[in-house]
Structure 1
C-alpha cells in the first residue's frame, strides 16, 4: 500500500474502479470533496501513473469472443533477449489479453480470448508452432467464468 495515498485518494480510486464513466461532479459528490479538489486529485493520480488508463469492460460473449484460454509457455532458451522477443511477439496479438512472466514452472502464462477453437488453433500456429524457441505449450480452456474483477483494493 502506498503511504502517500490519503483517504480521499482511496475513495477516488475505489469509486473510479466501480464506475469510471461518472462525471467529475458525480465523482466529487460520491467521495465527498469539491469538484475542483476531485479533478486535481484525479489528475495527480493519473500523472503519477497510479491510474494507468480508463476503459470500458466489454462482455466477450456479446462480441463473439466466446473462448477463453489460459496458456502456459515454456521456451527452449530463456536468455533475456529471447524472452523479450517472445513478449514482443505476443504483444502484437489482439487475442492475447494478458501476458505474465512466471516462476517457477513455465516461462509465461497468457490469457487469450478468441471466437472459437479454430481461432485458437490459428493463433497457436502463429505464436507457438512456427516459432523455434517455443518448447512446450499447455492450454486450459475455460468452461465457465465464475469471477472476473478488475478492481484492486486500495
Structure 2
C-alpha cells in the first residue's frame, strides 16, 4: 500500500461507490450493478484491494445497540512534540478499543480522538488510563456528543 493516489477509471469508481453503500453483496450482484462481467469485477476489486484503495471491508455497528452510548471528541496536547514522542502517544492510544479514531492536527491541540464508551464512568476510567497516567500529556479537553446528526463512511470517488 502506498500513499500516492491510484488512477481510477469509471468502472473503478462505480465499483467503489457501490461497495461503499453495500459491501456485503456478492461479486455477481456487484458486477451486475456496475455493468461489467463477474470476472472483470472480481479482478478490479482484487486490484483495488491490493493497491490499498480498499483498505478493508467492515460491518458498521450501531453503538447504542451494543451499549456504547457515549461519544467523546477529545483534544490532547502533549508537553513534548518530538516525532518519537508523538508516535509513542499514537501507539499508546491505538491499543485501546474505545478509541475509534486518532488524528494528529494543526494548529491547536496535537491530537483529536474520537472515543465511543458506555457511559461517564467508562470515560473516567479511559481518561485515567490513557491521559492522566501518561507523563507526556499536558492538556485534555473533551466534548461529549449530545446528538449525532450525520455519520457517513463514504468518500466521493
TM over 0.5: yes
Match of 1:58 in 2: 61
RMSD value over aligned CA atoms?
A: 1.1
Q: TM-score, normalised by structure 2?
A: 0.96
- Distance in 2, matches of 1:134 and 1:56, equals 33
Q: TM-score, normalised by structure 1?
A: 0.98
Aligned to 1:143: 146
Cα-to-partner distance string for 1:76-118 (whole Å, 9 max, x where unaligned): 0001111011000000000000000000000000000000000
95, 105, 111: which one pairs with 1:92?
95
Q: Within 5 Å, which residues of 2 pair with 1:20-99?
A: 20-99=23-102
Unaligned residue ranges in structure 2 (runs of 5+): none
**Within 2, Cα distance between the matches of 1:3 and 1:91?**
27
Give deviations 1:23-81, integer Å, cap 9, x for gaps: 00000000000000000000000000000000000000000000000000000000111
Structure 1: which 5+ runs fail to align? Answer: none
- Structure 2: how far apart are the matches of 1:144 and 1:29? 38
After TM superposition, where is structure 1 displaced by more than 3 Å over at least 4 residues in a row?
none
Tell me if structure 1 keeps the 8 A contact 2:104–2:112. yes
How far does residue 132 in structure 1 lie from its aligned partner after superposition?
1.1
Query: How many pairs does the alignment contain?
Result: 154
